[in-house]
A and B are shown apart, each in its own frame.
Chain A
Amino acid sequence: EIVLTQSPATLSLSPGERATLSCRASQSVSSFLAWYQQKPGQAPRLLISDASNRATGIPARFSGSGFGTDFTLTISSLEPEDFAVYYCQQRSNWPPWTFGQGTKVEIK
């Protein structure tokens, strides 16, 4: 089973700042990594597929990069609605598909 480790656990930033979130895989997942956003009381929402492909309707301020074991989600300029928890997920080696433990982006 591939373990995904996200860092940091919490990121405290102000609106307008840049957010950089990390996801590290226990073994290579090639580019088969996604990012999700989850707000309190809501289901996760798919943001990025296969490391860098924005899902339909996702703003351009969200971007993803990485390959192999190290991946990054960048939010170029935080909007108030971006404060949430972000999860990575791999589809390279399954079953099972696995998720990271999440990074909370909170208002500083």
Chain B
Amino acid sequence: EVQLVESGGGLVQPGGSLRLSCAASGFTFSNYWMSWVRQTPGKGLEWVANINQDGTDKYSVDSVEGRFTISRDNAKHSLYLQMNSLRAEDTAVYYCARVDYDFWGYMDVWGKGTTVTVSS
């Protein structure tokens, strides 16, 4: 079964850091671009960052540029999101998602999400 399982969410103070992880199974992880997408009640769904198959190409939304870093370990079938200098507006459910191989740019497999709350 194709599966993505996120972990690492929690409560953190403004200015703090958190590292999210995503464990992939059921498919050849190293063949796919991967993404992080977040969801808030106010802003809805927002693509956060993505990374190519070998980790050499990375992109992120302007609002997290310089604060969040996406990375991957293909040997461990894992995707990561290092989040620094967290702000209240980063509070969201964070989803790990696989980028569709045939329709590059859409997310065809999603994890259940992990909740990040930034609050003092």
| B 65-120 contacts with A by CB, 8 A | 95, 97, 100, 102-108, 110-113
Q: In whole angstroms, what is the CA distance A94 to B46 when docked?
A: 13
Interface-lining segment among A17-25, A72-80, A96-104:
A96-104
Residue contact B111 to A95, C-beta cutoff 8 Å: no
Interface residues on B, range: 20 to 34
Residue contact A91 to B103, C-beta cutoff 8 Å: yes
The interface size of chain A toward B, counting residues with CB under 8 Å, comes to: 23
In the complex, residue of chain A having the shortest beta-carbon distance to the beta carbon of B109: A46
Residue contact A43 to B103, C-beta cutoff 8 Å: no
Residue contact B105 to A99, C-beta cutoff 8 Å: no
Interface string of B30-51 (1 = CB under 8 A from A): 0000000000000011110000
Residue contact A49 to B103, C-beta cutoff 8 Å: yes
Residue contact A43 to B105, C-beta cutoff 8 Å: no
| A 81-102 contacts with B by CB, 8 A | 87, 89, 91, 94-102
